Structure 1
């Protein structure tokens, strides 16, 4: 038997690698460059981090004049063996030759901190200075300020660098980082793009650019840039995490999970990487694993309220989470946050129950987002009323046409994405806000830590999240009697429930497609649809849908609004496990709003998700004449569709258990005459933009705000109440006791 075959596998690989290295060196010395290159690449297939093979391949590429190809291999060689001084010097020399002075400068600084010194190093530094690059000390001063969290000072240092060395990437890179952490995304993008222009092979700068591209909705370009960054620096945990975020934005969930897992493996102590992994798992319906990842993130960064909010949102979609357990988790969030930052406050607001009230709205969704369809009709009616002055605190860094339209309804608009909670707290206090309203809950860009500080004497939450904030500092939760019937759900909220006439009106798309006749009449079979987010579609949801599909063997189903890329293997597998022929189920990726609505013209009845039901999707379907069959849940999130159905006289589509869901689905599917008639009339349920109905809803909101304020002026504790459409006369308040 061959001697090598008797060795353990890893030793066999090492022996083969050593022999190949000897051969590669001999081939290179003999001038047989192509053969040497093949051997080096073969070694790297066996051991991707082999420093000597990377260095040898870099030297071959450099000798051939291919500096762009050589530099990543020099970088990999140094990463594989940072103790080899010649790796540092050769890599630095290659960067200087390629005129990548910014990258060379940063590498020199890293080398100095690693103990690199001597005449050769001094000579490289002199060449850098002669090239117009800043000294290591120049850059280190700015980066030290940044590391200390002194962002204003770091920004000034960065601006000085860009003025002194405008064609060097270091200053622009630092300036971009400062702008980003201040929430100034547009300015950060401009600075980082300049940094990349002057240092195109700086892996960290490319990683930063990829993150900015992803956050501004340019996922495809972000992926391209980040893959380039990873090629240059394969072991960059941040680049892998940024790539995972870009893949998530593109809906490529399994690839996102793989990239996030790589980031976690490279740096298991970074909370953000566990958070990204959790999001990738959550969107695949793998809630238990996702919650485990969220909990690990919180162990590493217990002060990160946003990670906790992500976990709560995930839990609200879990099939086995009871309402009481879900409330306990939200309460834990509130208690942890308020113990950390909540402090007693005294507010200087004038105690006058009749005066004009300053109402503040905090949200990152005042843009082309579903929330705008609900709040805009109310803002339009309340704007300019003598009793109210509307103030917006916008927490998202980018504006669009909807943002500009909503701004027009405000007495004052504040862009606050760049402000820290303490700074925003001071601003709201200075603005004298009387009632501050959260429009996000535990969704993205929320500022719940701000609400824990209680910058306004009264605080409420509305629309953005179907559930409690968990904060004692938030006094009221605005809802209506169909979502949360009075007295039945109060124990699941830290807030007191205020029942409006309607929780919020809905403004449908102005130029949507026309409704066509019932598809089943032409098809000869019923087509069910689902337009909910994929992370609401869990295994048990598909199982119930399939009971209905098996009961109606001719029926078809369209699952739309899915991520792009066609990665629907998990959903397809679930339908297959339920013995549903794949030909009966069609999957459709996300589209623009017009095409999205037009897809409803192929659907007869929508099937809802649970325990987190539809909201905007249910209303869009109604606008297109399609009713939604729902399973009524035990939480606000599970009752959204049922509330919409109740408000519109469609209770026959709200079921109380799985058997009822199937019975009602069969009944609706077999009475096509009734379904067709319903389709033709459903759009009439929506009030026109000029309707008095919307005015009455706005009146209810204003009256609720006034009643909250009257109670506070009278030193009364917050209590649940029903907001009337017509407010009682001011004279009825004469018995109130002044706080002063």
Structure 2
């Protein structure tokens, strides 16, 4: 990408492209190829355009987006920054910068960019959804504020479709076989599928007929396995919302279940059209959706204790009897290894969560933990170089030397799992706890210490750890978080015992009991269906 370096150094030459294509045509080609995933062709079109117009803001920005997708973070930041200097009122530029900063683990900077995008264009769908994804990670954002922000999204983007709702022709028989539809953009190798696959495998086919509406274009072996659990399967990526809603009505779906919330590749605007009489949010997204057309939210009594969190949701809560997650470890995961502290003599603490969840306050607490355990180390996985300076700065401010901190890039599953051989204690993030990362760490024998809050994103650790008998590692204050983590890091014999017995503990807990879990889920579906039939 030599031209990119020339652009950034101001050496791009005003040399016309080989053909006589106009600037407008080059811009159309760049946009079209980028949307179609043809990054190389998009890059060439942008470069030709910049040769014609070196200060073309959108061409520079699109090159920044391409650099982002090619994992050239430094170039992406510079190009996006340059484009915003040239066109500071372009909301999409600020939105894309916010997405990049989120990925790099700079949540406060990301939030500022996304809020700037929304000041410029309050109806910018991408910026609002990116902000909704980020908000649970920010200190000081509680359940009521999360609900208000989500309902503002619904007011702007979902409410206009309420008038399109039509009566449903589903037969109101409370005990008949139910037609249940699942909608997801993550029917592939993804965290959601780890928890969804055991459900699809264990649905009672006499009680439930399953349909899946798959919105991910990338499909793999996991997709193929999930497909086998469905009586009907539709690849809906590329379909417009009206077409998807019509398909769901044609399939006479009784209960439509959203698995994506406001995550990428969601189809919430299909749910806004109310194509099924009962609509439920489940699994993939922890806060409310904000949509009045989604009737219920699946949770459990520890994630959402009765009387504590109801005001955080636009949906009514349906609580499973046990943990709200049913975990299916990947078959390729390695066996549990001894705690590294046995060999090293000191503990290694770690975070494997999305770096956007690592707040400045978390880093301050981690520094205090390291002070309490002399010689201990901190490993932070999944970070890009351009996001590390903030973390090191906060740790240095807490008196932690750089040599006690190790960063690792994002990595493929085998390398990621192997990394747990070097981890003694996983430090959960707050106010947005880990989910999949905690399950994987526990299955690999690594204990997790979690700080609990009073809204659902801050209570995932409560449910997971309590259900496997490790409630002692769930704390309710920052002081307890430091105390419990430090005490565990100093107790090498306990680390060894925990690690050796962790899988047996999980297997005995019910966290892997997919048949029982799925019966509980079906009971909630039945209760919601009976309520609809009664109202008819």
Give the alignment's TM-score, normalised by structure 2.
0.91
Partner SS for 2:513: helix
2: CA distance between counterparts of 1:691 and 1:504?
A: 7
State the number of aligned residues.
526
Does residue 557 of the first structure (1) align with residue 499 of the second (2)? no
Give the deviation of 1:489 after TM superposition.
0.9
1: CA distance between counterparts of 2:258 and 2:197?
A: 15
Note if contact 1:378-1:694 (Cα within 8 Å) is conserved in structure 2.
yes
2: CA distance between counterparts of 1:390 and 1:47?
A: 58
1: CA distance between counterparts of 2:313 and 2:132?
A: 14
Give the deviation of 1:261 after TM superposition.
2.4
Note if contact 2:433-2:457 (Cα within 8 Å) is conserved in structure 1.
yes
Alignment partner, residue 205 of structure 1? 29
Structure with larger Rg: 1
Per mean C-alpha deviation after superposition, the further-off stretch among 584-593 and 258-267 is: 258-267
Unaligned runs of 5+ in 1: 1-43, 55-71, 76-94, 111-169, 171-201, 716-738
Note if contact 1:358-1:391 (Cα within 8 Å) is conserved in structure 2.
yes
Alignment partner, residue 152 of structure 2? 332
Give the deviation of 1:330 after TM superposition.
1.8
Alignment partner, residue 378 of structure 1? 199
2: CA distance between counterparts of 1:222 and 1:648?
A: 51
Partner SS for 2:407: strand
Give the deviation of 1:317 after TM superposition.
1.0
2: CA distance between counterparts of 1:593 and 1:574?
A: 29
Per mean C-alpha deviation after superposition, the further-off stretch among 519-528 and 342-351 is: 342-351
Q: Which structure dedicates a bigger proportion of its chain to helix?
A: 1
Give the deviation of 1:367 after TM superposition.
0.6
Residues 380/321 of structure 1: CA separation in 2 closer, same or farther (3 Å cut): same
- Residue among 3, 15, 35 paired with 1:73: 15
Does residue 272 of the first structure (1) align with residue 214 of the second (2)? no
Note if contact 1:437-1:459 (Cα within 8 Å) is conserved in structure 2.
yes
Per mean C-alpha deviation after superposition, the further-off stretch among 304-313 and 546-555 is: 304-313
What are the superposed Cα offsets for residues 202-223 of structure 1, whole Å, 9 maximum, x if unpaired?
A: 5753564355448xxx8xx689
Residues 582/291 of structure 1: CA separation in 2 closer, same or farther (3 Å cut): closer
- Residue among 344, 347, 365 paired with 1:526: 347
Partner SS for 2:279: strand
2: CA distance between counterparts of 1:584 and 1:692?
A: 36
2: CA distance between counterparts of 1:222 and 1:462?
A: 39
Alignment partner, residue 368 of structure 1? 189
2: CA distance between counterparts of 1:521 and 1:317?
A: 34
Alignment partner, residue 348 of structure 1? 169
Residues 519/229 of structure 1: CA separation in 2 closer, same or farther (3 Å cut): farther
1: CA distance between counterparts of 2:442 and 2:196?
A: 19
Question: Cα RMSD between the aligned structures?
Answer: 2.8
Alignment partner, residue 154 of structure 1? none
Note if contact 1:470-1:493 (Cα within 8 Å) is conserved in structure 2.
yes
1: CA distance between counterparts of 2:269 and 2:8?
A: 49
**Residues 412-491 of structure 1: pairs in structure 2 closer than 5 A:** 412-491=232-311
1: CA distance between counterparts of 2:112 and 2:489?
A: 41
Bigger RCO of structures 1 and 2 (CA < 8 A, at least 6 apart): 2
Give the deviation of 1:641 after TM superposition.
1.6
Note if contact 1:606-1:629 (Cα within 8 Å) is conserved in structure 2.
yes
Give the deviation of 1:634 after TM superposition.
2.0
2: CA distance between counterparts of 1:319 and 1:222?
A: 41
Partner SS for 1:529: strand
Alignment partner, residue 596 of structure 1? 416
Residues 245/369 of structure 1: CA separation in 2 closer, same or farther (3 Å cut): farther
What are the superposed Cα offsets for residues 53-89 of structure 1, whole Å, 9 maximum, x if unpaired?
A: x6xxxxxxxxxxxxxxxxx6136xxxxxxxxxxxxxx
**Residues 644-655 of structure 1: pairs in structure 2 closer than 5 A:** 644-655=464-475
Partner SS for 2:518: helix
Note if contact 1:391-1:410 (Cα within 8 Å) is conserved in structure 2.
yes
1: CA distance between counterparts of 2:105 and 2:337?
A: 34
Per mean C-alpha deviation after superposition, the further-off stretch among 679-688 and 528-537 is: 679-688
1: CA distance between counterparts of 2:483 and 2:434?
A: 20
1: CA distance between counterparts of 2:183 and 2:238?
A: 14
Give the alignment's TM-score, normalised by structure 1.
0.67
- Residue among 459, 476, 479 paired with 1:639: 459
Note if contact 1:516-1:601 (Cα within 8 Å) is conserved in structure 2.
yes
Residues 279/439 of structure 1: CA separation in 2 closer, same or farther (3 Å cut): same
Give the deviation of 1:613 after TM superposition.
1.0
1: CA distance between counterparts of 2:300 and 2:511?
A: 20
**Residues 256-271 of structure 1: pairs in structure 2 closer than 5 A:** 256-271=76-91
Note if contact 2:298-2:320 (Cα within 8 Å) is conserved in structure 1.
yes
Residues 677/692 of structure 1: CA separation in 2 closer, same or farther (3 Å cut): closer
Partner SS for 1:714: helix
Give the deviation of 1:647 after TM superposition.
0.8
Note if contact 2:429-2:450 (Cα within 8 Å) is conserved in structure 1.
yes
What are the superposed Cα offsets for residues 595-621 of structure 1, whole Å, 9 maximum, x if unpaired?
A: 101110111101111111111000110
Note if contact 1:687-1:694 (Cα within 8 Å) is conserved in structure 2.
no
Alignment partner, residue 85 of structure 1? none
- Residue among 443, 455, 468 paired with 1:623: 443
Unaligned runs of 5+ in 2: 1-6
Does residue 544 of the first structure (1) align with residue 368 of the second (2)? no
Note if contact 2:241-2:270 (Cα within 8 Å) is conserved in structure 1.
yes
Partner SS for 1:630: strand
What are the superposed Cα offsets for residues 532-559 of structure 1, whole Å, 9 maximum, x if unpaired?
A: 1111112111111000101112111111
Does residue 682 of the first structure (1) align with residue 502 of the second (2)? yes
Note if contact 2:104-2:386 (Cα within 8 Å) is conserved in structure 1.
no
Partner SS for 1:320: coil
2: CA distance between counterparts of 1:431 and 1:548?
A: 55
Give the deviation of 1:687 after TM superposition.
4.1
Give the deviation of 1:251 after TM superposition.
5.1
Note if contact 1:468-1:493 (Cα within 8 Å) is conserved in structure 2.
yes
What are the superposed Cα offsets for residues 573-627 of structure 1, whole Å, 9 maximum, x if unpaired?
A: 2222222111111111122101101110111101111111111000110011001
Alignment partner, residue 3 of structure 2? none
Partner SS for 1:437: strand
Alignment partner, residue 710 of structure 1? 530
2: CA distance between counterparts of 1:449 and 1:46?
A: 44
Residues 455/237 of structure 1: CA separation in 2 closer, same or farther (3 Å cut): farther
Partner SS for 1:612: coil
Alignment partner, residue 357 of structure 1? 178
Note if contact 2:74-2:386 (Cα within 8 Å) is conserved in structure 1.
no
Residues 663/47 of structure 1: CA separation in 2 closer, same or farther (3 Å cut): closer
What are the superposed Cα offsets for residues 223-278 of structure 1, whole Å, 9 maximum, x if unpaired?
A: 97587456545344444333333443455545433222233334445432221012
Note if contact 1:548-1:665 (Cα within 8 Å) is conserved in structure 2.
yes
Partner SS for 1:474: coil
Per mean C-alpha deviation after superposition, the further-off stretch among 263-272 and 319-328 is: 263-272
What are the superposed Cα offsets for residues 392-432 of structure 1, whole Å, 9 maximum, x if unpaired?
A: 11112222221121111111111111112122222211221
Note if contact 2:64-2:75 (Cα within 8 Å) is conserved in structure 1.
yes
Residues 246/578 of structure 1: CA separation in 2 closer, same or farther (3 Å cut): farther
